[in-house]
Structure 1
Amino acid sequence: MKVALIAPPFITVPPKDYGGTELFVAQLAEGLQKAGVPVVVYTIGESTVNVDRRWLYEKPEWPIKAVQHAFIKDMDHSAWAIRDAAETCDVIHLQSPQGIPCSRFTNVPIVFTLHGPHDPKLSEFYSHYPELYYVGISEFQRRQESLPRIRTIHHGIDLSLYQLREHKQQYLSFIGRIAPIKGTHVAIDVAKRVGIALKIAGDIQPIYRDYFKAKIKPELDGKFIEYVGLADLKAKNELLGNSLAMLFPIKWNEPFGLVMVEAMACGTPVLAFPGGSVAEVVRDGVSGYVCRSVVDMAKHVTTIDLKPRAVRQYVEENFSLARMVGQYAALYQEVLKPGDARKIA
């Protein structure tokens, strides 16, 4: 059985900093390859994922400046990739909806992972393709769809890439898009209430530059409230691993929130607002706390006493790469008709 993983053509696989979907594709691809499942990743030319790679576009394009142009580029990339993959692969796994209409032109079974928030218009679009095999990345996300072939597979991460740090420093961390729905300004509020420094890392997309200038930049002093820019894997290990807790004060329904798992893999508890997948990812009193309000989050900052090793163990038991790879491999085998391809050894 050979699997094609088709990533969007905007960010390298794996990403250099921002890119949850691209990190997912990279780790799934390499995990499948190690498990004996041949993989080809359709991406951009500068990607470095250590499997067979193919591309139409060489350079990354992020942040996206013109949505309509990006839509056309993604359609072009997806159509080319599906046509190419259909000649040599037994299963095609899509990450963006632009490729779905091409399923009408191939008999190769297609898996589609839903990475974004629920959108009624997209749900209507998906309903025209009931023959696809859909994957929700959280139970919350899956329950919002009414598709006949949908299941939940939580993300997993390669724990060897994340260092357990048992001795923490006196600061809090925030990693994510600098956007109102991610609650960057709330994280600053919490830090000021408890008098503990905050280090912020994340992408400032053009659409949210006014928010950054109005709500975030005036609070930055380079010492107590610090913006450190984008964070690659090494920087994430440092920033998350050394912090007392990672704040995740979201104001939307998070589809999954991979950075929560990354923080916990470093032995750092997560303090989060409820919304979407949060209660599935953070186990109250074990790997962090789901907080009701700013006051509640501030209270937990001052009283948190979770052992870093136990926090990491929670990730090992629930969000390992091996578990995710095994569940996707089982799905790929399931979608194949008897005799279509060799069984996984």
Structure 2
Amino acid sequence: MVVPPWLSVPPPGYGGLEQVVAGLVDALIARGHAVTLMGAGEAHGTAAEFLATVDELQYDRLGEALPELAHLARVRHLVSAADFDIVHDHTTIGPLVAGRREVPTVATVHGNPVGEYGTVLSDTDGGVGLVAISHAQRRLNRHLPWIGTVHNAMDVDDFPRKDTPSRGPVLWLARFSPDKGPDLAIRACRAAGLPLVLAGKCNEPAERRYFDEVIAPMLGPDVTLVLDAGREAVLRLLVEARCLVMPIQWEEPFGIVMLEAMATGTPVVALNRGAVAELVRPGVTGLICERADELPAALRAAPGLDPAECVAQVARAFSTERMAAGYEEVYHRFLVAAAPRSAVREPARVTPV
């Protein structure tokens, strides 16, 4: 299991990819697989064997190409056919270089497969299979070498939860970017007469610039600002919130924060973009709006939804066990398809423990 060199697994705060991988690793191990996690730094919180390609996390160099390229070059030297059956890559550049490995690679695409990223993915080595995290993401670029779609997942037992609906503030929880619509969240809450908590990641230059130029002038006494919150603070905010608002302005490929909210019993109010309709059950676990002017009414109505239904939706449709089973099937099919027909060795079927 190869992750980018930026954050630990699981992350101490922001880091949806790393949170998902942590759950996947432990679920695969629980199903009887031997998993080695390859990343950066010294600490991790999974049951896997951990191999670090560099002693320090490279978060301070996020956005540069060389740290990830060097990480992947070191991974190639750590991976041999004698030790591994398959590599599961979660990096951005991985699909472009994975064909040089001795071991077959499947790569999960965590971003939108269009634009420059789509160009990189379109040059994926023929021996690498891509996995989508939602049907909406896959539809954005149907011509890529997709081999499956597996939704991200969360273990509801890792989350505190509320038993009754909250009348607390609306919560916006994302990185500060126009794609995430924090300006729309402020306008919608003011129109609804509801307080808002803006809990945002704001430690990269583009995020700070957007916050300073667009969001800061909009703040007032009805908006509580929380910057770069740690994991415990995020969970507390989720439990206290009347709902999570997702006024996204792009084709969100998944939106793991929606699962996190529902896992605590907090419903989601979102604009119908990207994978929202695959995650939220309208009128049961949240309310989906087609236009921004529909958000205020939905925010006021959200406490009428049952927290237990929100938790049950995650446990039923987005469990780590279900995600692991989905990837296990992808691994099996890909190994059989990738091997020369004369040399096919059926991967051993693992009985869940």
Considering the TM-score relative to the shorter chain, is it more than 0.5?
yes
**Which residue in the other structure is 2:57 paired with?**
60
Contact 2:104 2:128 in 1 (8 A): yes
**1:134-182, Cα deviation, whole Å (9 max, x unpaired):** 1111101112231344321110111111122123142110110011110
**Which residue in the other structure is 2:38 paired with?**
42
Aligned-partner residue type, residue 57 of structure 1: V
Partner of 2:266, secondary structure, is coil
Asked if 1:74 corresponds to 2:68, the answer is yes
Partner of 2:108, secondary structure, is strand
Matches within 5 A, 1:196-207: 196-204=194-202, 205-207=204-206
**Which residue in the other structure is 2:307 paired with?**
308
Partner of 2:103, secondary structure, is coil
**Which residue in the other structure is 2:177 paired with?**
179
**Distance in structure 2 (CA, Å) of the matches to 1:329 and 1:262:** 24
Cα RMSD (Å) of the superposition? Answer: 1.9
Q: Structure 2 residue aligned with 1:188, among 154, 173, 186?
A: 186
Partner of 1:268, secondary structure, is coil
Asked if 1:320 corresponds to 2:326, the answer is no
Partner of 2:227, secondary structure, is coil
How far has the Cα of 1:25 moved from its partner?
A: 1.3
After superposing the two structures, state which structure 1 stretch, 335-344 or 144-153, moved more: 335-344
**Which residue in the other structure is 1:232 paired with?**
230
**Which residue in the other structure is 1:291 paired with?**
289
Residues paired across the two proteins, number:
337
Contact 1:12 1:22 in 2 (8 A): yes
Moved over 4 A (4+): none
How far has the Cα of 1:218 moved from its partner?
A: 3.2
Partner of 1:285, secondary structure, is coil
Partner of 1:93, secondary structure, is strand
Asked if 1:330 corresponds to 2:329, the answer is yes
Contact 2:112 2:118 in 1 (8 A): no
Asked if 1:16 corresponds to 2:3, the answer is no
Matches within 5 A, 1:334-345: 334-337=333-336, 338-339=344-345, 341-345=347-351
Q: Show structure 2 runs of 5+ residues with no match.
A: 337-343
Contact 2:283 2:305 in 1 (8 A): yes
**Which residue in the other structure is 1:114 paired with?**
109
**Distance in structure 2 (CA, Å) of the matches to 1:149 and 1:131:** 12
**Which residue in the other structure is 1:85 paired with?**
79
Q: Structure 2 residue aligned with 1:131, among 114, 127, 131?
A: 127
After superposing the two structures, state which structure 1 stretch, 264-273 or 99-108, moved more: 99-108
Identity %: 30
Contact 1:163 1:237 in 2 (8 A): yes
Contact 2:172 2:182 in 1 (8 A): yes
**Which residue in the other structure is 1:161 paired with?**
158
Q: Show structure 1 runs of 5+ residues with no match.
A: none
How far has the Cα of 1:283 moved from its partner?
A: 1.7
| Cα distance change of structure 1 residues 230 and 97 upon mapping to structure 2, 3 Å threshold | closer
Contact 1:45 1:54 in 2 (8 A): no
Give the TM-score normalised by structure 2.
0.90
Partner of 1:238, secondary structure, is helix
**Which residue in the other structure is 1:269 paired with?**
267
Contact 1:130 1:147 in 2 (8 A): no
| Cα distance change of structure 1 residues 187 and 77 upon mapping to structure 2, 3 Å threshold | same
After superposing the two structures, state which structure 1 stretch, 34-43 or 118-127, moved more: 118-127
How far has the Cα of 1:42 moved from its partner?
A: 0.7
**Distance in structure 2 (CA, Å) of the matches to 1:28 and 1:38:** 12
